């Protein structure tokens, strides 16, 4: 079968995603050609498709995959043909059977992490790693509210937070998804309407609220998140699954208890190969010691990427989603 990639020539709905045949590009200096075996779907792919996050058109889609090194360019010393690798980040374009990439973006996979797990885990797991670690510096005993807790990032956050001794209050959009979060280890799993969430969180925390909110839902959960935080707590708003958050009203943060607010992105916590490999190492460590498993809720053929976008945007996915070349 000829090699191909999935691209958008115009922003819009999933129907804008097109298949395009490609020929593998010889890797230049510092580059590596990867034969991709599994591709991770992420909500950010829908932002690139719609134009919420600007990209030059035509554009590839996808920022995460695993595969096997097929060729290496001059000056690449730490990788060789046949190595199993994975990556998260860089310009969109992972929806492809084969891809040429800068070597510094790639992480060598340990033998006990299979390609599908890696493709499902890299972006979402490195996100969980930096959110819990250098971003929010979450400690044992802290109460943490996790939104979309049965989703890709959410299901990893729940397990990792539990493993470090935090008290996890999970929220999800249905009772079925709340049950998944409970099975993943959440101490409390709620599926109430957003308007009721602050009251329920305060009831669980003895009125105090949570030290940290990890919120990838965005617009729909903004008020519930602000209302659930303890005095001098931290609001990490890290995504827009329900739409971009409203303009900031700084005084509302004072009224909410002098809370801290950050809007982080993975790129700023993986500025170079050292930071990237440190986060990936933390993630692989959690997987290898069994503290974190990577639930793969559904797979799609790469050529059916539009259906995968429809699924994640309609809230019908759980865990990670893979596209298979």
Ligand X SMILES: NC(=O)c1ccc[n+]([C@@H]2O[C@H](COP(=O)([O-])OP(=O)(O)OC[C@H]3O[C@@H](n4cnc5c(N)ncnc54)[C@H](OP(=O)(O)O)[C@@H]3O)[C@@H](O)[C@H]2O)c1
Stretch that binds ligand X, among 16-24, 40-48, 222-230, 285-293 (CB under 6 A): 40-48
Cβ of residue 307: shortest distance to ligand X, in angstroms? 15
Pairing label, strands 143-146, 210-215: parallel
Cβ of residue 151: shortest distance to ligand X, in angstroms? 2
Is residue 186 part of the contact set for ligand X (CB under 6 A)? Answer: no
Stretch that binds ligand X, among 4-12, 202-210, 258-266, 278-286 (CB under 6 A): 258-266
CB 240 within 8 A of CB 147: no
Is residue 154 part of the contact set for ligand X (CB under 6 A)? Answer: yes
* Structural element, H or E, at residue 280: helix 273-288
Stretch that binds ligand X, among 4-12, 281-289, 300-308, 310-318 (CB under 6 A): 310-318
| Other CB atoms within 10 Å distance of the CB of residue 95 | 28
Number of residues that bind ligand X (CB under 6 A): 30
CB 79 within 8 A of CB 104: no
CB 249 within 8 A of CB 259: no
Residue choice 151, 185, 198, 209 for contact with ligand X (CB under 6 A): 151
Cβ of residue 168: shortest distance to ligand X, in angstroms? 15
Residue 233 vs 239, nearer CB to ligand X: 239
Is residue 270 part of the contact set for ligand X (CB under 6 A)? Answer: no
Residue choice 106, 129, 153, 190 for contact with ligand X (CB under 6 A): 153
Q: Residue 69 CA to chain centroid, in angstroms? A: 24
Which residues have CB under 8 Å from 194's CB, separation 6+? 220, 221, 223, 224
Q: How far apart are CA 278 and CA 149, in angstroms?
A: 25
Q: How far apart are CA 186 and CA 1, in angstroms?
A: 44
Is residue 312 part of the contact set for ligand X (CB under 6 A)? Answer: yes
Residue 27 vs 152, nearer CB to ligand X: 152
Pairing label, strands 143-146, 167-171: parallel
Cβ of residue 233: shortest distance to ligand X, in angstroms? 19
CB 97 within 8 A of CB 103: no
Stretch that binds ligand X, among 36-44, 92-100, 203-211, 271-279 (CB under 6 A): 36-44
Is residue 264 part of the contact set for ligand X (CB under 6 A)? Answer: yes
Residue choice 60, 173, 198, 227 for contact with ligand X (CB under 6 A): 173
Nearest Cα to Cα of residue 99 among 60, 137, 49, 136: 60
Residue choice 68, 220, 303, 324 for contact with ligand X (CB under 6 A): 220
CB 242 within 8 A of CB 225: no
Residue with tokens 């790693």: 129
Is residue 265 part of the contact set for ligand X (CB under 6 A)? Answer: yes
DSSP classification of residue 96: B
Site string for ligand X, 124-143 (x = CB under 6 A): x--x----------------
Q: Where are the beta strands (DSSP E) in 132-246?
A: 143-146, 167-171, 188-190, 210-215, 229-237
Residue 24 vs 265, nearer CB to ligand X: 265
Contacting positions for ligand X (CB under 6 A): 42-44, 123-124, 127, 148, 150-154, 172-173, 177, 216-217, 220, 238-242, 264-266, 312-313, 315, 317
């Amino acid at each position: 079968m000829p090699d191909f990639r999935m691209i958008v020539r115009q922003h819009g709905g999933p129907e804008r995603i097109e298949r395009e045949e490609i020929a593998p590009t010889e890797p230049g200096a510092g580059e590596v050609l990867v034969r991709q075996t599994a591709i991770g779907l992420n909500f950010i792919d829908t932002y690139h498709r719609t134009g919420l996050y600007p990209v030059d058109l035509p554009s590839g889609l996808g920022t995460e995959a695993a595969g096997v090194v097929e060729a290496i360019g001059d000056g690449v010393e730490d990788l060789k043909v046949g190595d199993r690798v994975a990556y998260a980040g860089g310009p969109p374009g992972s929806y492809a059977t084969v891809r040429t990439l800068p070597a510094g973006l790639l992480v060598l996979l340990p033998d006990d992490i299979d390609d599908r797990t890696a493709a499902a885990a890299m972006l979402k797991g490195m996100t969980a790693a930096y959110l819990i670690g250098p971003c929010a510096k979450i400690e044992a005993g802290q109460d943490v509210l996790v939104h979309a807790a049965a989703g890709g990032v959410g299901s990893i956050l729940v397990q990792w937070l539990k493993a470090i001794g935090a008290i996890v209050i999970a929220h999800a959009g249905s009772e079925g998804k709340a049950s998944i979060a409970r099975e993943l280890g959440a101490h409390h799993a709620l599926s109430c309407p957003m308007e009721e969430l602050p009251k329920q969180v305060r009831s669980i925390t003895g009125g105090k609220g949570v030290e940290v909110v990890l919120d990838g839902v965005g617009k729909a959960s903004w008020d519930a998140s602000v209302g659930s935080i303890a005095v001098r707590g931290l609001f990490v708003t890290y995504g827009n699954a329900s739409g971009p958050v409203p303009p900031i009203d700084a005084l509302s943060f004072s009224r909410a208890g002098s809370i801290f607010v950050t809007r982080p992105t993975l790129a700023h916590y993986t500025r170079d190969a050292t930071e990237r490999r440190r986060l990936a190492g933390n993630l692989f460590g959690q997987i290898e010691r069994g503290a974190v498993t990577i639930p793969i809720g559904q797979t799609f053929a790469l050529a059916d990427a539009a259906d995968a976008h429809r699924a994640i945007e309609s809230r019908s996915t759980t865990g990670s989603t893979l596209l298979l070349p």
